[in-house]
Amino acid sequence: DSGVTQTPKHLITATGQRVTLRCSPRSGDLSVYWYQQSLDQGLQFLIQYYNGEERAKGNILERFSAQQFPDLHSELNLSSLELGDSALYFCASSAGKEQFFGPGTRLTVL
Amino acid sequence: QQQVKQSPQSLIVQKGGISIINCAYENTAFDYFPWYQQFPGKGPALLIAIRPDVSEKKEGRFTISFNKSAKQFSLHIMDSQPGDSATYFCAADSGYSTLTFGKGTMLLVSP
């Protein structure tokens, strides 16, 4: 168990809808990262937050947004969902270089 | 553009054998190279990591070999066990703590 928690574990929704994925980092970790894992694209970095501030952006679509709250938990918001957004979404946290991943949220868009 | 190339895509090794997975990179700004292990339905778990000022790092049965001039690094799993059957990912960090991952290698260790 990495100490990173993610909810929900599974999410099934329809195209055009909006969902929110939640992540609680390990105790004491200030950095939170979001990754998308799909069969064709592999594991791709989406966005990083450090102590509430956006620090780095990767291949994140404009329809996606994230934030980190004062208690350091983070939420990833996905809107106007498309079939191609179906994937595993992982959150990771770190205090330094080592990133620890949560169990992921499997999103299915029908 | 794939910045970290990983091979092979899949690997079958007999129990007790050595599993070898290779990665190559182009970006010389990468300064931290971790390997992750992922079981089905689970998140990636950090296995071992190396920095470019070291040519080899060993932790138990797992060893990373690093060749800075060739821009290549590899994971060796000694005495491979069926419990090692998983997908392995190499990754690279450019110093901003954002990881670029290889495509992954599915390892199957046959009993």
Omega of the bond prior to A8 within 30 degrees of 0, cis?
yes
Nearest CA in chain B to A98: B46
Predicted confidence band of residue A30 (pLDDT cuts 50, 70, 90): very high
Of the residues A24, A97, A100, A106, the best mutation for testing chain B's interface (the one with the most B CB atoms within 10 Å of its CB) is A97
Query: Which among B42, B46, B89 has CB closest to A43?
Result: B89
| pLDDT average, residue stretch B90-105 | 89
| pLDDT average, residue stretch B80-103 | 92
| pLDDT average, residue stretch A85-106 | 96
Query: Which among B43, B49, B104 has CB closest to A101?
Result: B43
Mean of pLDDT over chain B: 94
Q: Do A90 and B44 touch (CB under 8 A)?
A: yes
Radius of gyration over alpha carbons of chain B, in Å?
A: 13
Q: Which pLDDT does position A1 carry in this prediction?
A: 86
pLDDT tens digits, residue range B5-59?
999 999 999 999 999 999 999 988 899 999 999 999 999 999 999 998 999 999 9
Q: Which pLDDT does position B28 carry in this prediction?
A: 87
| CA–CA separation, B38 and B86 (whole Å) | 6
Query: Which among B43, B49, B89 has CB closest to A98?
Result: B49
Q: Do A31 and B101 touch (CB under 8 A)?
A: no
| pLDDT average, residue stretch B59-78 | 96
Residues of B in contact with A33 (CB under 8 A): 97-99
CA-wise closest residue to A63 among A75, A87, A47, A79: A79
- β-partners of residue A109 are A13
Residue A81, helix vs strand vs coil = coil
pLDDT tens digits, residue range A32-72?
999 999 988 899 999 999 999 999 999 899 999 999 999 99
- Point out the least confidently predicted range of A82-91, B2-11, B73-82: B2-11
Burial of A56 (0-12, 13-18, 19+ CB in 10 A): middle
> Is pLDDT at B93 greater than 80 in this prediction?
yes
Predicted confidence band of residue A101 (pLDDT cuts 50, 70, 90): very high
Taking the CA atoms of residue A30, residue A76, residue A44 and residue B81 in that order, the dihedral angle to the nearest 10 degrees is 70
β-pairing verdict for A31-38 and A10-13: unpaired
Q: What φ, ψ does residue A69 adopt, rounded to 5°?
A: -90, 165
Q: Which pLDDT does position B35 carry in this prediction?
A: 98
| CA–CA separation, A97 and A90 (whole Å) | 17
> Is pLDDT at B2 greater than 90 in this prediction?
no
Q: Which pLDDT does position A40 carry in this prediction?
A: 86
Is A99 at the interface with chain B, CB within 8 A? yes
Is A7 at the interface with chain B, CB within 8 A? no
